[in-house]
Every structure is written in structure tokens, then in C-alpha cells.
Structure 1
Amino acid sequence: MADLIRITDVSPRDGLQNEPGIIPTRDKLELIRLLCHSRVDQIEITSFVSPKWVPQLADAAAIVEGVRDIAVQDFTGSPPNRYIALIPNAKGLEVLHAAESGATKHGLEQFRPPVVSTIALFAAASETFSQKNINASIEESFERFRQVTRVPRSSPGIRGYVSCVIACPFEGAIKPQAVADVAARFTDLGVTEIDLGDTIGAGTPETVLEMLEAVERRIGRTWFDRGALVLHLHDTFGRAADCVKAALDFGVRSFDGSVAGLGGCPYASTPGKRVPGNISTELLVRTIEGAGFRTRVDKNRLAIAADYARTIVAASRAGSGGGPLQKNGGGQS
């Protein structure tokens, strides 16, 4: 039987965070509900970053409480979706814990485990990008992460993001060894997943393989074999599907996507032109299954989620004066 590939949809967080118009919380929750029904394996639902820096995600606590309600309403005995939230620092984790505490006050003891099964930490293989994106050096970012991981939590999942694994919008090409070094620091921290992000979509099959080989040499093959090594691709130059195929051949068994191709690095766009962002989950699933592998995803329900995502983002952009929503990879083959 063909290998089963795990799919994480990041559209509720990564896909929406840079949208200029504030999307109502109820619309975000409906997108998450539709993604649950599409049977993606994990959903990145929000980030507990300061609303001052990312106003779009100021409703993070409300999202967590709403996701608890989705689980209560839609649980049918099938494996529940696993939810991820990005945590920038120990303060963000405190806010998450407070939100989860509030979300348990429904008199439903069977749903008392944390809403968020995995917290995500965000680092970079580029020193300049780290400074500009999270206002900290790579070393300083890992000191923040150590503070987060010291806090007891009943749900042990920790995802470590490494951005700029191929190239940086400020430094240019990134050496594969730099990526491997940051990945190794995450293993030392005790993460359960490592997510390698081609932040500006500069990757080709050749450069992606070179990077993966360096990471494998540093942290070992078992991360790939157990599906704990995740690849997060952007389709800026239309090469993401080719990179997926190369990564599958190498042994990657977990990928991120974003319905309708939402999101992407703002440094890769200009005010007058939005470039394609994250690989669309629709294209990702088609590419994986076309290569002879399996996913759990219901493609018809995924298409419904993608259409809904386009609708709420188009409404947001119309209200804010933003540009039109493009189908970033959703219709490609």
C-alpha cells in the first residue's frame, strides 16, 4: 500500500494574517469547520502574537474558544483534527492557556484536553530575516523558545518552524548547513516536528534536495521516516509542485498547504502586485496523489473550503481597498 502523507492546512493563520481588512471571527471559524470536514490532518488555527503587530489575529483567544465548540458540535467518532497555534513567547503561551481554560467551561468533560495539540515556534535560517520578522536574533529567539518549553503543558506537541530554508529576501541564497544548524537547535529543544519553510518560493527540486540532504545528515533519517519533518512550500515562481515530487522521492511524508493558495511572504510582493503565496492545499493533494501516494483528504470538501476562503478574503479586500484575490495554484495541474 502506498505511503500515507500527512497534510496540515495553515490558511486560518498563515493564509489570513497579512490580509489588510479584518476578517470576522465567525468567518474564520467557519473556514476552520470546513477544513475539519475536508479531513486534513492538522489545522494551524491562529497565533498568539501581539495584536499591535498582527491586528488580523487579535481574536486568537476567541478562535480557540470557538474551535472547542466546533469539536463539540462535529465530533462523530472519527479521529479529531489536531490544531496548531503559533506562540511567539512565554506571554503568548499564558494567553493560550487562559483561552483554553475558558474554552473548557461547557460542562463537557470528554472534551477537557487542550484545544491546541501542538504549539508552534518560529525561527529563521537567516539572521537578517529573524531580526526583521520577530525582532530578535536567532540566538535570542531560541532563548525565548526555551522559556516557552519550560512551561508545563498537558499537550506535548511542539512544531519548530525554520523559515528562509532556500533563500532570504534580504540575504539572498541561504546555505543548506545554516538550515541544518537551526533544525538541530530545535531537536535539542525537544520539538516533536520540524517544519522547513521556503519563505519566498525560490526553491527548485535541486535546491530543495540539497537542503534536505544537509538536514538529514545533521538530525538523522528518523525525522523523515516518522513524518516529523514537514515541508512548507510557496508557489511564487510556479515550482512548488515540482519540489513536492522531489521531496516525496527523498522521503518527506508531511507537507503544509493553504486552501486557495492564501498567504505568503509579504516581502515577496509589492504594493501593486500580489505574487502567489503558499502552495494551495488543493494543488498539494493533487500532486501527492498523482505521484502515487495517499492522503486522508476529501477533495470535494476541500474545494468547498477553498471557495469559502476566497469569498471571505475577497470581501475583506473589497472593504479595505486591497487588490483582487487570485487563485494561487488552486487551478494549476
Structure 2
Amino acid sequence: MASATPVPPGSHITICEVGPRDGFQNEKTFIPTAKKIEIVNALFASGLRHMQVTSFVSPRAVPQLADAEEVLAGIDRPEGAFVTALVPNLRGAERAAGAGVDAVHTVVSASETHNLKNVNRPVDQSLSEFEAVFATLDKAGIAIEGGIATAFGCPFEGIVPPRQVARIAKRYQELGASSVSLGDTTGMATPLTVQAAIRAIRDAAPGLEIHLHFHNTRGVGLACVMTGLSEGVTHYDASVGGLGGCPFAAGATGNICTEDLVYLLQESGYESGVDLDKIIAAATLTQEVIGRPLPGQVLKAGPRLKRHDPDLTVTAAG
């Protein structure tokens, strides 16, 4: 497997905000449509330009996202905004095409067991069914991002061989996907598994753009981002406040946090176009709407050079 050229400092790194879809879908209490729109607009105001706003799934399966069309119709799209949505099937693709998204995101698991739990069908059947989805979206001029869940490990099967991930990526490329996103669905990614998967895909599907979607279940999500950068990957998903998690895997927690990722990139010499103070403000708003503390670290601590009044700090006695 050939090594890649690291992304040089000063480069622009694309962050795709997935909280309004991947984060909100796990919330049991319905978030009012107006509040969803307010949060999406606050995220765009921070400088984010790529966002997975919702999902066109069955309202019975995910009631939280039953208002997909209303949210998309109500948000303010700044210049350069690239709005995506997840679709599970042909019906979802048809709804997305009518709602004005720029791209759709499809998902199949690299693990057979997880795919059965997630969509109740084998991996190859999912890929075959995507043929009609891709044809519909191609006719509508909508780009397709192929997602691979459990790309770095499965809670049911354990190790997922990189060749299996690469096989699915190659099939996505044959179907016409513009990119493939590797999902760390249950937080099992490590720097070495990330490196192996990226290199396997580049050998099997040369020229296919790779995106990385990490969870922070075991606390190494941002370490995996650094590995991605060393392998030349410039596109990362993240979720405001660290919202998210997979409902079909025990112990899974949230995605890597958008404001933490922005901070890491900023302090590592990369450009993201996102204002750190404004993304913290968007995370604060999200936390207020959700109604509980969110796991983001920068949300709690603030920027590195944030100043504090010494007169308001307890002085040690003795």
C-alpha cells in the first residue's frame, strides 16, 4: 500500500457539520423545527459552508427528522453553502431531489452484521439497491457521497479488514459517487486502522476522494484526524458540541466535536474558514436547546488564550 503526501500546514481543511442530522436524530424529545433552523443558521454564521442538514428517512423510523423539507426550506443558505442530506433508499432520494439539496449521502456498513441491524439487509443487497438511487440523483444533477459505516471495526464482528472497506469504496466509485466517507460508527478507529483503510482504498479506487467521519467513543477521534492529515485527507465530518452516536451499537457516543476540531486545526496551522468564537456560540445555543451539557471540551474551556480576571480567582492560602 503506497503512502500519501501529508497535508501541508496552511492548507484549507473542509469541515462538514453533521450535528443537525447525526446529532439530532438521537434526541428523544422533538426539537422544534424553528429551533433546528436557528441552530443551522448559527452554524453557517460561524463560517461553516458544508453541512448535512437532515435525513430523508421514514418519519416512523426517525420522528425527529420528519420535518426535513420544512427545515431545508427555512434555513438561510450563505454564498458557497453546500447542503447535504442522508438518504437510505430510492424514496428518500426522490424526496431529497425535490428539496433542493446539493448532494446526498448514502450509507452501507462494512460489517455484514451491522448492516443487517441497521437496514435489515446484506451489504451486497444494499449496494445493488443503490443503483436506482444513483440513477435518480444523477438525472437530477445531485452529487452523491458514498458512506461506509463501521469502516474501522464492528462491535459484533470485531476487526473489519481494510480490503472489505476498499471493495465497497470501489463499488461506490463504479456507481458514480463523487467521494466516499469512512464512518467510525462505534469509535473503534485508531491511527493505524485509519492509515490502513485509506491506503487500501487508494490502491483499489485511485482518484476517489476520501472523507473521514470519526466518533470520540474512546477519546482518540482527534488523534485519528491527525493521522488523516498525515495521509493527505482534507475533509472531515464533525458534530456541534459532540452530539451523535449510533443507536445500533452498544456504548457508542458522540461524533468528534466541531469546535474542538476547529481549535485543533487552528492551533496546528491549518485553515478551516470557521471563526472559533462563533462556533462556540453556536455550540452554546445547541446545548441550551438540547437541555443538557454536551461533551465538547472547547465549549467548556474556551480558546487557549482566553483571559480570566485574577481578582475573581481563589488565591491559595498559607
1:24 aligns with 2:32: yes
1:161 aligns with 2:147: yes
| CA-atom RMSD in angstroms | 1.8
Aligned equivalents of 1:255 and 1:327: distance in 2? 19
Paired residue secondary structure (2:11):
coil
Match of 1:326 in 2: 294
Amino acid at match of 2:94: E
Amino acid at match of 1:253: T
Residues 235 and 329 of structure 1 are in contact (CA less than 8 Å); yes or no, is this contact kept in structure 2?
no
How far off is 1:268 after superposition? 4.5
Distance 1:329 1:167, change over 3 A: farther
Aligned equivalents of 1:161 and 1:4: distance in 2? 23
Distance 1:133 1:165, change over 3 A: same
Match of 2:315 in 1: none
1:128-164 CA deviation, whole Å, 9 max, x = no partner?
A: 1111101221111112211111115444311111010
**TM-score, length-normalised on structure 1?**
0.83
1:291 aligns with 2:291: no
How far off is 1:269 after superposition? 4.6
Aligned equivalents of 1:7 and 1:88: distance in 2? 23
Structure 1, unaligned stretches of length 5 or more?
Answer: 101-114, 315-323
Amino acid at match of 2:85: A
| Aligned residue among 9, 27, 35 for 2:17 | 9
Aligned equivalents of 2:163 and 2:254: distance in 1? 25
Match of 1:259 in 2: 240
**TM-score, length-normalised on structure 2?**
0.87
Match of 2:6 in 1: none
% identity of equivalent residues: 36
How far off is 1:93 after superposition? 2.1
Amino acid at match of 1:295: S
| Aligned residue among 158, 170, 187 for 1:201 | 187
| Aligned residue among 211, 217, 224 for 1:243 | 224
Alignment length, in residue pairs?
292
Distance 1:82 1:144, change over 3 A: same
- Matched ranges for 1:89-104 at <5 A: 89-98=89-98, 100=99
Distance 1:329 1:214, change over 3 A: farther
1:126 aligns with 2:111: yes
1:138 aligns with 2:118: no
Amino acid at match of 1:189: L
Structure 2, unaligned stretches of length 5 or more?
Answer: 1-8, 305-318
Aligned equivalents of 1:34 and 1:282: distance in 2? 13
Larger radius of gyration: 2
Paired residue secondary structure (1:62):
helix
1:172 aligns with 2:158: yes
